[in-house]
Amino acid sequence: MRSHCVTDGMSPAFLGDEAVAAWTASGAPLVDLLRQAHTPGRLTGFRRGGRAAVLVTEPRHVHQVLGLGGDRYVKRSHRARPLLGDGMLTATGEAWRSQRKLLQAMFTGRGIQRWEHHIEGAAACVVDRWAERARRGEPTDIAEDVQFFTVDTIWRSLTDRPLDQETYVDLAAVQDIVAALPADVGGATALPTEVEAAIGALDERMLRALADARVRHRADGAGASVLDRLLDAAGTDPAYTDRLIRDELVTLLVAGYESSARTLTWAFVLLDEHPEIMERAAGDPRAVEAVLSETLRLYPTGWLLPRHSPADETLDGWAIPAGTDLLVCPYLTHRDPEVWPEPETFDPGRFPARSPLPPGAYLPFGIGPRACLGTRFAMREMEVLLGALLARFTVETTGPAGEAVFGINLRPAGPLHARVRERT
Ligand code: HEM
């Protein structure tokens, strides 16, 4: 095992200024700088523009920053704020606490059963689409199909209405906005005008959905959707202005469809490389769950979870001066060979883990107070769709293979074309 560092106040090791300057000049993605700085057993980082950033990858450090230190290490000027406003992902302090409390019960425990019929309904649409493709012998784009599914499930849950093609086109434009957001924590926040315009169009769509829901809400009384819950809150809490409801809707849409869609696409990329695992998973729900868990280990879409230390802190003996950014990086943690032997190998047999994993070692949904609200929803929708598709179809992708793009989330580049056939 690595030696546990106990030297009080030891300073993290920072990359030399020349290395940072060379990286800046190269225009390479942030993940390359993180890989350069990463030194197992040490707390390392880099300085840019007078700001210090420390890379957090060791499980016990991750646990201390996100889990135990959830109140001390805070989110700050989130990269997605121009899109998400003051929604739950970006909000902080008391505002965040009460926003989370309002929706928590709908997404945890028995609360998630209310979404089962939406998930089943949306999955049936994709199965029908694939059956049609198989009958006609036409190729399909898996990345697009799973994205339609995840937008459909979240839209049904938000509004109680299935997704129509026109709404889908409007909502799917959000992916261009997400792609244009700075991947970098210290990146500029000024957005290109076409992205500002796309945000404006999305706002219009959301405010229209809100107006429709308000009419129905008044006529039919409280419904069961997320929007109904937000409208109920607006009746008693002046904080729930139309603007905040818009922010919460966009947050749930973006958080709710993007990660699940990309994870499902990654699963097909990996299964295509391992046909024997694909065959084993067909008709076996536990194997499907393991495939998804292992996919999320190799490709956690939330590959970088930035935090900020407003006060001087000590992290496991390392001095963290006030003003330091802490870059928790699940992507690197999930490839730590001390926890994950042969970390680059896709092996769903690792799940469920035979002995408890060290805290902080596996965090595709984050950990601590700011962990993903939609963990159970996401796992359920992905299990239902992947299970249904693998049980009924064989899949042969025709490319292009998904090269990893480390943006604000970790996604496979490009479409994923495939031929699907009914199992005989
Ligand atoms: C595979 C799918 C998903 C993955 C990998 C994922 C991952 C994450 C991660 C890593 C965080 C924590 C971010 C941080 O600590 O900085 C997060 C937060 C969040 N996620 Fe997810 N997510 C997924 C699906 C969903 C779905 C389906 C929903 C909604 C139904 C959702 C709603 C949220 C919300 C609202 C937060 C913010 C929670 C808070 O700050 O209190 N996510 N997600």
Tens-of-pLDDT digits for all 424 residues of the chain? 343 333 456 899 999 999 999 999 999 999 999 999 999 888 999 998 888 999 999 999 999 999 987 789 998 766 788 889 999 999 989 999 999 999 999 999 889 999 999 999 999 999 999 999 999 999 999 999 999 999 999 999 999 888 998 888 888 888 888 878 766 665 555 778 888 888 888 898 899 889 988 888 777 666 789 999 999 999 999 999 999 999 999 999 989 899 999 999 999 999 999 999 999 999 999 999 999 999 999 999 999 999 999 999 999 999 999 999 999 999 999 999 999 999 999 999 999 998 999 999 999 999 999 999 999 999 999 999 999 999 999 999 987 767 899 988 899 997 999 999 999 8
Task: Please report whether residue 8 resides in a domain.
Answer: no
* Crossing angle of the two packed helices 226-236 and 242-273, in degrees rounded to 10: 160
Task: Please report whether residue 185 resides in a domain.
Answer: yes
The rounded distance, in Å, linking the Cα atoms of 175 and 181 is: 10
The per-residue pLDDT for 272 is: 94
Task: Please report whether residue 265 resides in a domain.
Answer: yes
What separation in Å is there between the alpha carbon of 142 and the centre of ligand 1?
A: 22
Tokens in use for 65?
A: 């920053």
Task: Please report whether residue 413 resides in a domain.
Answer: yes
How many structural domains are present in the chain? 1
Pocket test for ligand 1, best of 94, 259, 329 (most atoms within 8 A of CB): 259
Q: Which atom of ligand 1 is nearest to the CA of 382?
A: 1
Task: Please report whether residue 384 resides in a domain.
Answer: yes
Tokens 């049904």 -> residue: 156
The per-residue pLDDT for 77 is: 61
The per-residue pLDDT for 173 is: 83
Alpha helix stretches (DSSP H) within 114-225:
116-136, 142-159, 165-172, 174-180, 193-220
Residues with CB under 6 A from ligand 1: 88-89, 100, 154, 251-252, 255-256, 259-260, 263, 301-302, 305, 364-366, 370-374, 377-378
Task: Please report whether residue 370 resides in a domain.
Answer: no
Tally Cβ neighbours within 10 Å of residue 29: 16
Pocket test for ligand 1, best of 249, 372, 379, 386 (most atoms within 8 A of CB): 372
> Which domain, by its residues, includes 384?
13-358+375-422
Tally Cβ neighbours within 10 Å of residue 166: 9
Specify whether the CB–CB gap between 334 and 298 falls below 8 A.
Answer: yes
CATH of the domain at 395: 1.10.630.10
Tally Cβ neighbours within 10 Å of residue 146: 26
Q: Which of 146, 82, 102 is nearest to 378 (CA)?
A: 146
Task: Please report whether residue 267 resides in a domain.
Answer: yes
The per-residue pLDDT for 162 is: 87
Task: Please report whether residue 364 resides in a domain.
Answer: no
